[in-house]
Amino acid sequence: MRRYLPFVIVGAVLLMTAGGALLLYKSKSGTPLKIATGKPGAEPAHIRGAANARVTLEEFGDFQCPPCGFLAATLLKVEHDYAESVRIVFREFPLAMHAHAMTAACAAEAAGMQGRFWEMHDMLFQNSMIWGKPGAPRPSVSPAGVTNIPPPAETAAEVRATFEGYAAKLGLDVERFKRDMNAEEVKERIKLDQERAASIGVDRTPFLFIEGVQIPFASLGEQELRGVIDAALSGRTPAPPPSSPTPAPPQIPTSALPPNPAPPIRRLRHQNKRSGRGTTKAVTRPQYPSDQTRPRDISGPFFPARPRLFRA
């Protein structure tokens, strides 16, 4: 048995090498691994576009986020121009820093319970500067009688009333809309989208993926986004955004540095103990005291301080 042991070991190594090469080949020749893996999110997801679209954009948005409103307008143009090639998936990601973002998300999901999510989605973004900012101008007078004071921010009750008005404009059952805004099913959908966001690293809005790969914020403009979509349609896999390198410290040119002054020259006189004749020698001392090693001072009640001698 020992006679065949080396052959068994060599055969096992060859099998492991062949298996590793096969896996490497498949990983290179197969479909690239997508980045946006994680929890599934709310199902069914809110999708607008052709079911057989070649490119999928997944957005995590906040209805009270101003950049999300600009992106929503851009995506409307993209959907119009790439009607059969691109579809949009919207995920709820209301930020805690926005006072009415959660209420707006509940309103959109409540409208979705009646099949009008995207209509409410568009209406919320188009009017976000009204309900998401200080309310509509209304007369207000200060104690001193001065008018034109900026109106106070809308309260939660006023925002809900505004959303109920949007529901009425969309032809929804307003009473059901009110109930659905507080329904557990609506809150659960928002929670599932937030869990998906956390599982794939979403930490701000707007956050957009194309075919599972994050699109950098700088590429969310209309022209830049069209270029990314065209690249995906042509079969080029979008590359993940590069990590920003650490900036190098600024280099100060040598010409900008102040000139280093020449060290002082001091002439010391030394006396020859044997002949008694003195000699003078120029001693160049360093500019900074820390640049030289000085002998330790030996002074005290039994050793009076003595001047230091620099011998030639």
Question: What span, in angstroms and rounded, lies between the C-alpha atoms of 294 and 146?
Answer: 77
Q: What is the DSSP letter of 265?
A: E
Higher confidence at residue 301 or residue 37?
37
Whether residue 145 is predicted with pLDDT greater than 70 in this model: the reply is no
- pLDDT for 83 equals 87
Question: What span, in angstroms and rounded, lies between the C-alpha atoms of 199 and 303?
Answer: 77
Question: What span, in angstroms and rounded, lies between the C-alpha atoms of 279 and 271?
Answer: 6
- CB-based contact 197:60 (threshold 8 Å): yes
Tell me the two tokens of residue 292. 């030289």
What DSSP letter does each residue of 15-29 carry, written as one string?
HHHHHHHHHHHHHHH
Whether residue 192 is predicted with pLDDT greater than 90 in this model: the reply is yes
In a domain, 88, yes or no: yes
Residue of 208, 114, 126 whose CA lies nearest to 162? 126
Mean pLDDT of 125-137: 75
Mean pLDDT of 54-78: 95
Higher confidence at residue 4 or residue 200?
200
Whether residue 299 is predicted with pLDDT greater than 90 in this model: the reply is no
In a domain, 66, yes or no: yes
pLDDT range class, residue 235, cuts 50, 70, 90: confident
Question: What span, in angstroms and rounded, lies between the C-alpha atoms of 207 and 214?
Answer: 8
In a domain, 302, yes or no: no
Range of the domain at 119: 46-137+152-233
- pLDDT for 262 equals 56
Tell me the two tokens of residue 285. 């001392």
Its sign, for the CA torsion 129, 45, 51, 89, is positive
In a domain, 60, yes or no: yes
Tell me the two tokens of residue 238. 């979008």
For residue 209, give the amino acid letter.
Answer: F
Give residue for tokens 């101008």.
137
In 175-264, at which residue ranges do the beta strands (DSSP E only) sit? 207-210, 213-215
- CB-based contact 62:94 (threshold 8 Å): yes
pLDDT range class, residue 257, cuts 50, 70, 90: low
pLDDT range class, residue 138, cuts 50, 70, 90: very low
Neighbours of 34 (CB within 10 A): 12
Whether residue 153 is predicted with pLDDT greater than 90 in this model: the reply is no
pLDDT in tens, 3-45: 655 665 656 655 555 444 443 333 333 333 345 578 999 999 9
CATH number at residue 199: 3.40.30.10
Mean pLDDT of 170-175: 96
Mean pLDDT of 256-272: 56
In a domain, 219, yes or no: yes
- pLDDT for 155 equals 85
Residue of 103, 305, 58 whose CA lies nearest to 205? 58
Whether residue 99 is predicted with pLDDT greater than 50 in this model: the reply is yes
Residue of 279, 274, 268 whose CA lies nearest to 310? 268
In the chain, the number of structural domains is 1
Whether residue 261 is predicted with pLDDT greater than 50 in this model: the reply is yes
Q: How far is CA 24 from CA 33, 194, 240, 269, in A?
A: 13, 35, 21, 82
- pLDDT for 132 equals 82
In a domain, 277, yes or no: no
Q: How far is CA 171 from CA 120, 151, 166, 174, 233, in A?
A: 11, 30, 9, 8, 38
Higher confidence at residue 29 or residue 137?
137
Which residues are registered as beta bridge partners of 207?
A: 60
Mean pLDDT of 240-259: 51
Question: What span, in angstroms and rounded, lies between the C-alpha atoms of 112 and 147?
Answer: 42
Its sign, for the CA torsion 202, 208, 213, 219, is negative
Tell me the two tokens of residue 34. 């997508």
In a domain, 209, yes or no: yes
- pLDDT for 24 equals 37
Q: In the sheet where 55-61 sits, what is the strand order?
A: 46-49, 86-92, 55-61, 207-210, 213-215
pLDDT in tens, 265-289: 555 555 555 555 655 555 555 554 4
Q: What is the residue-averaged pLDDT of the chain?
A: 75
In a domain, 177, yes or no: yes
